[in-house]
Amino acid sequence: MRRTFAVCACAFFAATISGCLHESSSSRGPDVPSNAVHTDERAATVDDLAPNAVSLCLAEVVEIVEHDWRPSDGNAEVRVKLRKVKGSGEFHEVIDIITAYGGGGQGPPPEPPDFLRPDTFRIGGQYWIAFASPHEFDKHPQGVVNFWPKGKDAEVEAVLDEAVRADVYRWSPRYDPETKLVYGRMVDEKAKGDEKQWRIQVKREGKVLWEEVIPGTIARWTNHSWKLDESAAANFPGKVPSCGTILVAETATRLGPKNEFGLSPQDVCILTGYDPETGARLTAKVMRQEAGYVFTLLYREYDPKTGEVEKETR
């Protein structure tokens, strides 16, 4: 479904927005971000207001704290803590606004980004915030595509409010500029009884390539719980598809007496690697947790064409 909500008949589209993105910071007011769409040059859709956003929310600022981690090889930053009022997609509880980069022998530090400034937010203030895909860090290093103070523009707020009402970002879609893929996940509300499951969806240029229903609940046992693995060649040698990356997803579930892995009934986490373009299962790692540690019980690699097990390690 295209995220289109009428705002005004005279709205300008991509060319106008591009011009807004590059407007000099000297002509902006203190509440206007560097990529803001001005009232007289407004986008007509939520996609134009927040290109490739992963989620959208109306949030209240509850805390603003300054940190300086440079003595320990970190950055100086202002941490903004948020409370969600309403939203669609994944919610981020904090925004870190870097004011100065640390060193650490990693080469010259980049210039601090000027999109969000230390005085952008105010405690008690409410703001519409569109969060960025983690794959667009170079473009949005603070993790924010755009923001709008509540009450500043009724017409823009109408677009944003309708997007939240329609739950446009329910898949929390992550855009990857390298592959042009958009991958998302959401809890499956159609699960029956005590059965828990969630869904994966992958798209390219608006077309759904594949979907998968995953038994269990979304898990975060490892640092690779949900991502397009850009280091697939090193992490999954021999199983890297033509697009050069693997979609990794973790689910927490309980194995039944007769499970496909031939393991005893127990609570486990299954990390599965998929071909992101076709949905073919390439790898599976079954893990269990004990005393705060994660142990691998089984690792498998699969033939992407037949689904048959090619390799297994226990």
Better-predicted residue by pLDDT, 139 or 42: 139
Of 112, 140, 165, the one marking the end of a domain is 165
* Residue 18's pLDDT band (cuts 50, 70, 90): very low
Q: What is the pLDDT of residues 31-51, one digit of tens each?
A: 444 444 343 444 469 999 999
Q: What is the pLDDT of residues 197-218, one digit of tens each?
A: 999 999 999 999 999 999 999 9
For the chain, the domain total comes to 2
User: Domain of 106?
Assistant: 14-165
For residues 180 and 160, state if they share a domain: no
Amino acid at 46: V
For residues 55 and 122, state if they share a domain: yes
For residues 122 and 51, state if they share a domain: yes
The Cα–Cα gap between 147 and 150 comes to 9
For residues 158 and 192, state if they share a domain: no
Look at residue 3 and tell me if it is in a domain: no
For residues 18 and 158, state if they share a domain: yes
The Cα–Cα gap between 37 and 145 comes to 12
Of 131, 146, 165, the one marking the end of a domain is 165
Of 165, 187, 206, the one marking the end of a domain is 165
The Cα–Cα gap between 61 and 59 comes to 7
Q: What is the pLDDT of residues 53-111, one digit of tens each?
A: 999 999 999 999 999 988 777 888 999 999 999 999 999 999 999 888 876 655 555 56
* Residue 144's pLDDT band (cuts 50, 70, 90): very high
Look at residue 66 and tell me if it is in a domain: yes
